[in-house]
Amino acid sequence: MIIRSVSRLLLGLLVVLSGCSTSPKEELLACVSVARDGFRPVAETRDLRFEGKVQEDTARCRGGEKAVAYRDTPWVDWQHYWAAGDASTLSQITHGGRHLGPNGRGIDGALLDLEYQRVELIKFNLFDNSGTYADYVRGRDGVHGAALKVWPQMRLAVDDPYYAAVGGEGTQLCEGELIRFRTLTGICNDIKNPLMGSSGTLFARNVEFETAFPDLGKTELVRNRHGDRLGLFKPDPQVISRKLFTRAQSKPDKCHDGMGLADHDPTAHCDYQKAPFFNVLAAFWIQFMTHDWFSHLHEGRNADAMMAVGCTTQRVANEERALTPQQIAELGCRPGDRMDKGMIAQTDEPPTFTAHGKTYLGRAHQTTANNVTAWWDASQLYGYNEISRQRVKRDPSDPAKLRVRSVGARAGAGEQQGYLPLFAAADPIHPQWTGQEATAFPDNWSIGLSFYHNLFAREHNLFVDAFRRQAAQTPQADSGLRNPARPDAVIAYQDVSDDELFEVARLVVAAEIAKIHTIEWTPQLLYDEPLYKGMNANWNGLFENSKLVGAALEKVVVNSFGKADDAKKANQWYSVFASGPGIIGLGSHVYQDDAILSGYDPDKTDLWRLDNPDHVNGGVNHFGSPFNFPEEFVTVYRLHPLVPDLLEYREWNRDPNRIQAKVPVVETVRGQATQVMADGGLANWALSMGRQRLGLLTLKNHPHFLQNLHLPRLDSDTGQIDVAALDIIRDRERGVPRFNEFRRQYGLRQLTSFDDFIDPRLPMNSPQRVEQQRLATLLRDVYGQHRCDAAKVITRAQRNPDGSLITDCLGHPDGSVVDNIEDVDTVVGWLAEFPRPHGFAISETQFQVFILNASRRLFSDRFFTSSFRPEFYSYLGIDWVNNNGPDGKVMERGRPNGHETEVSPLKRVLLRTTPELAPELEYVVNAFDPWARDRGAYYSLAWTPRPGAENDAAFSQP
C-alpha cells in the first residue's frame, strides 16, 4: 500500500513537471519503477549480497545521469546521488517536498544503501574466536544462532576472583556491586555473560575463518588466489614503505627527514598532502581512542623473540631479486632493523564442526588476545587491570577526583585546573615511560595523548565539582543513584561516597568520549550529509524530532524480535528499527505496552527496575555473537599518514594567526611529550593542533620520522624501526586477508586491475589523474603480474556481475597477464583508493568496517543502552551526557549545513577546561574541523580563512 501511494504521488509529480526539462521526467519515471518493484530482499547467501551497487533505475531516481554513469565502477553508487556531496550536488528542483524531491531522494537513498550494508554485515560478518561459532551456525536448544543471547564460553573461570560472586558452577549472573559501575577488567558489562569484552579475551574476526591467514595457504581457494607469492616478508614490507609510502619533499633541507630546523625555527617546512576539513586534533584523537579499545601488547611489549623486518628483496621484471647495497642505499631502508614478534594466543589446529552439509572451522587458524577491555569505558584513563589501575593517581584531598598538579604560572583561566602528575619511581612502569604523565595506558605516548589525558582529567574533576556543588545546595535531594542491594532506597547527594562518585564520573566521561567520537569526530571524518544523518542516528535516532515515526519503530525492536518466529530475520532488521529512536538509551525505559525500546515518555509509568536482570540487560543485542573487536577493525585504524612531521605551534594570547615555532613530532613523544605540554600549556596546544590540517590518508604520505623511528629498547644494529613497514608485517602476522578478498568479505565489489584505483571522475589529462596513473604503475612494479588461469576459482564470497564464479583471471581472457591485485596488502589498497565519497578522509573499504563495528559496540554495551539511567549515572550525569554539559542544551548560531546544531560535545569540554580559548572557539562548529577554516556553503571542502584569520600563514600554503 505504501509503495502504491508513493507511485501515485510520483506520477502526479511527473504530470506537474511535464513542462520542465526531460531529465526530471526521466528521473521520476525511474522512481516510479523503483517504487513499483519495492525494496530489494536481504541476501540469503554471502555471494549474492548487496555490494553498494544499485539498478539503473534506482541510480537515475536518486542521482540522475551522473549516478548512472558510474555504475560500472567498483565503487559504491550512493556517493553520486543528489545532495551527497557539496553544493554542486544539490538539485535546484524543489518539487516533491523534503523526501520526494531529488535531494531528499538522494539522501534517503544513500541512508537506505548504508542500512542494507549494515544489515548484511551483521548477517554475514560475525565470527567469534572464543568457541561460540558452532552454536552461531547451528543454533542451540531450538534457538536460532543469530538469536542466542547467552554463551557458556562467556562464563568466568573458576580461578577468577569473582567466580563465586557471579554464581560459580551454577547459572552465572552478575549482581550487586558488579553491575553498578564499569568494572576494572570489563567483566559484567553484559550481566548474563560476565566474561564478554573483558581484558585478555580473544579478538574476533569479520571475515570467514578460512580466509584469514592467507600466507599459510591452507585452502585451495587461497592457493588459487595467491599462488606462492605471499609470505610474512613477501613482498618486502620495507620496500613497500619506501616506494609507496614516503613523502616527497620539495625542500629537503628545510625538512631534514622530519627533524625540521634548529631551535624549532618556524621557517622549517616538510611537505605533506593535507586534508582541508580535518585537523591534527583529530589525528591524535584516534590514537587516544584506540588505546581504549584494543591492544595486542602486554605492558608495552610483544613476544620475546626478535625478527628481521625486511629490506632484503624487491620485484624486478616481475621476479623477486635480492637487493644490492646500492639499491638499499637508494631506497633508504635498513636490513639491520629488528622488532619483537607479535603475540599469538593460539597456534594449534582449530577445531571443526559440520552443519548444513558443510564442514566449518571453529575459529581462525591462529588467534590473538585483546589485552585491554573492548568496551568504550575510557580504560586508557582509568585502567583495565590491577597493574594499570596502580598508575591512576587519585587526589588525596578529594579521592573522587584525579590528582592534578600546577605547572608554572602561565596565563589562562584553565591553568588553575592543573595537569596530571608524573610517574613516580615506585610506579609499575617500563623505563621508557619515565617522565610521562601518570595514566593507565602510557605506551606510545605523544603530545596528542598528553593533551587528551589532561583534558579529560580536568573534565572528570569538573563533574565532581558540579556534583559536590549540587550536594552542598540540596544535600538530602535524590541523586538518582541506586544500590542494587537496596534498589528502592533513595541515595541522597550527601550520601554518595568518594568511590561511588569517582565511578560515576568515569561513566560520564566515557559516555562523553563515545558521544564525541560518534557525532563529532566521525561526521567530520566523513564530511557529507548522509553520514551526518547516519552517525547522529546512531546516537539520537533518525527520527529525533518525529515522535510518531520514532514511536512506531520503538514498538518493534527488542521485545518483538525476542518473540519473533524467525529470529534470524529479526536480527537483520534490528539495526534498521533501532535507527528510529537511536541506540543510546535503548531499553532504558519499560512501559506497560511492552515497548522495551521506548524513549522517555513523561506521561507513562516507567516500569524499569534495577532488580530485574532483563531490564538491566534488556537493551543490548550482540546479534548472536559475543562482542569483541575483530582484527580487521584494528587494521583500518592504521592511520599514520594523518600525522604531519612538524607541528605548527601557536599561542592563544600572542596572535593566534602567527606560527611561533615548528616542532618535530618526534620531539613530542614519550617523556618529551610531557615536557613539551608543560612548556606550552593545554590551551596553546589545543589552538596549535586545532588550526593545523592533518595529512590525507593516501599513498606517498607517511611521516618521515615514523619510517626512521628510534626505539632505544630494541636490541638491533640500528635501534630503529620503520613503523609503516611494521604495520604491514603486523597485519600479515595476524592473518588479515589481502585487499581484494578483504573487500569481497565485507560485501564490496572487487577490483580487477591496479588501474581500477584511478578516479574515473577526473579529466583524462589532469595532473591528479596523471599522478594516479603513475602510482598505479608503481603498484604494478611492487606487486607484479602473472599469467592467469581461468580454471582456478579464487573465492566463494562474491560472484561476477553476470553470476559466474570469480577466477584467477578476474574477468580477463584465460591466459592473460593480469595484475597481482589479489596480493595487495589491505593497508596499501585502501590508501590507494582515490575514488572516495565526498568529504571522506578514509576509503570506502575502511568505512565498510566502521559501518558494522561503530554501531555494534554501542548495541552491545548496556551502559549505553538499558543501563543508561540515573541509577548508574545520577540525574546530573545523565543530563551532562545528554546536554553536553551541566548548563542545558546550547545551540550554535545559524544553521550549519542546513541543520539546527547543538554546540558540539568536544567544544563544550574545551570551553570548560580551557575557557581562555572562548574567542577562538566562537567560530568553531566542529572541534575537528580546522579552527580558522571558513566552513562555507553546504559541506564545502574549500581551504579559505574565516573572518579574522585572513593573516594566518597556513592559508598561503596549498
pLDDT tens digits for range 793-846: 999 999 999 999 999 999 999 999 999 999 999 999 999 999 999 999 999 999
CB 862 within 8 A of CB 617: yes
Per DSSP, the three-state class of 338 is strand
Q: According to the 3-state scheme, what is the secondary structure of 372-426?
A: CCCCCCCHHHHCCCHHHHHCCCEECCEEEEECCECCCCCCCHHHHHCECCECCCC
Mean pLDDT of 679-693: 98
Cα 906 from Cα 513, distance rounded (Å): 8
Mean pLDDT of 231-253: 97
DSSP 195-234: TTT-TTPBPBBSS-TTTS-GGG--SHHHHHHHTT--BTTB
Cα 225 from Cα 740, distance rounded (Å): 10
Looking at residue 597, its pLDDT comes to: 52
Read off the C-alpha cell for 823: 596480493
pLDDT tens digits for range 540-593: 765 444 444 344 444 433 343 434 445 545 555 555 555 555 788 888 988 886
DSSP 17-83: GGGS-HHHHHHHHHHHHHHHH-PPPPPSSGGGS--S---HHHHHHHHHHHHHHTTTSSS-SGGGSTT
Cα 148 from Cα 568, distance rounded (Å): 10
Among 4-8, 517-521, 747-751, name the one with the lowest average pLDDT: 4-8
Hey, CA dihedral for 384, 389, 390, 391, is it positive or negative? Answer: positive
Looking at residue 559, its pLDDT comes to: 41
Site of grid cell 595476524: 734
pLDDT over 70, % of the chain? 92
Looking at residue 21, its pLDDT comes to: 43
Helices (H) and strands (E) in the chain, counts: 34, 16
CB 649 within 8 A of CB 409: no
The one-letter amino acid at 755:
D
pLDDT tens digits for range 351-410: 999 999 999 999 999 999 999 999 999 999 999 999 999 999 999 999 999 999 999 888
Mean pLDDT of 336-350: 96
pLDDT tens digits for range 448-497: 999 999 999 999 999 999 999 999 999 999 999 999 999 999 999 999 99
Read off the C-alpha cell for 575: 539495526
Identify the bridge partners of residue 264 per DSSP, sorted by sequence position.
none
pLDDT tens digits for range 592-638: 865 555 566 788 888 999 999 999 998 899 999 999 999 999 999 99
Cα 517 from Cα 584, distance rounded (Å): 14
pLDDT tens digits for range 30-53: 988 888 887 788 899 999 999 999
Cα 415 from Cα 60, distance rounded (Å): 57
194 to 136, 203, 442, 853: CA distances (angstroms): 19, 17, 27, 21
Mean pLDDT of 921-934: 97
Among 227-241, 574-588, 774-788, name the one with the lowest average pLDDT: 574-588
Site of grid cell 571443526: 352
Q: How confident is the model at residue 20 (pLDDT cuts 50, 70, 90)?
A: very low
Q: How confident is the model at residue 301 (pLDDT cuts 50, 70, 90)?
A: confident
Q: Please indicate whether residue 417 or residue 104 has the higher confidence score (pLDDT).
A: 417
Look at residues 648, 720, 712 and name the one whose alpha carbon lies nearest to residue 684.
648
Looking at residue 542, its pLDDT comes to: 52
Residue 939 CB contacts under 8 Å (≥ 6 apart), including other chains: 85, 86, 87, 527, 528, 529, 838, 839, 897
Q: How confident is the model at residue 10 (pLDDT cuts 50, 70, 90)?
A: very low
Looking at residue 556, its pLDDT comes to: 37
Residue 360 CB contacts under 8 Å (≥ 6 apart), including other chains: 133, 134, 137, 209, 352, 353, 354
Four-point Cα dihedral 700, 705, 708, 709, nearest 10: -130
Cα 467 from Cα 94, distance rounded (Å): 50
- First-to-final CA distance of the chain: 54
Q: How confident is the model at residue 855 (pLDDT cuts 50, 70, 90)?
A: confident
φ and ψ at residue 793, rounded to 5 degrees: -80, 135
Cα 369 from Cα 350, distance rounded (Å): 16
Mean pLDDT of 292-310: 93
Per DSSP, the three-state class of 662 is strand
Q: Residue 251's Cα: distance from chain center in Å?
A: 35
Identify the bridge partners of residue 649 per DSSP, sorted by sequence position.
661
Q: Is the pLDDT of residue 886 over 60?
A: yes
Q: Is the pLDDT of residue 23 over 70?
A: no
76 to 175, 747, 843, 847, 848: CA distances (angstroms): 46, 11, 11, 11, 10
Four-point Cα dihedral 59, 60, 65, 68, nearest 10: 30
Q: Is the pLDDT of residue 333 over 60?
A: yes
The one-letter amino acid at 398:
D
Look at residues 458, 483, 562 and name the one whose alpha carbon lies nearest to residue 149.
562
Instruction: Name the average pLDDT for the chain.
Output: 92
Q: Residue 321's Cα: distance from chain center in Å?
A: 39
Residue 376 CB contacts under 8 Å (≥ 6 apart), including other chains: 292, 293, 510, 513, 514, 857, 858, 861, 864
Identify the bridge partners of residue 231 per DSSP, sorted by sequence position.
234
Among 165-179, 294-308, 368-382, name the one with the lowest average pLDDT: 294-308
Q: Please indicate whether residue 560 or residue 506 has the higher confidence score (pLDDT).
A: 506
Per DSSP, the three-state class of 515 is helix
Q: Is the pLDDT of residue 9 over 50?
A: no
Among 55-64, 183-192, 576-585, name the one with the lowest average pLDDT: 576-585
pLDDT tens digits for range 632-656: 999 999 999 999 999 999 999 999 9
Q: Is the peptide bond before 235 cis (omega within 30 degrees of 0)?
A: yes
Tell me the pTM.
0.95
Mean pLDDT of 131-138: 98
The one-letter amino acid at 864:
F
Q: Please indicate whether residue 437 or residue 17 has the higher confidence score (pLDDT).
A: 437
Q: How confident is the model at residue 119 (pLDDT cuts 50, 70, 90)?
A: confident
CB 383 within 8 A of CB 212: no
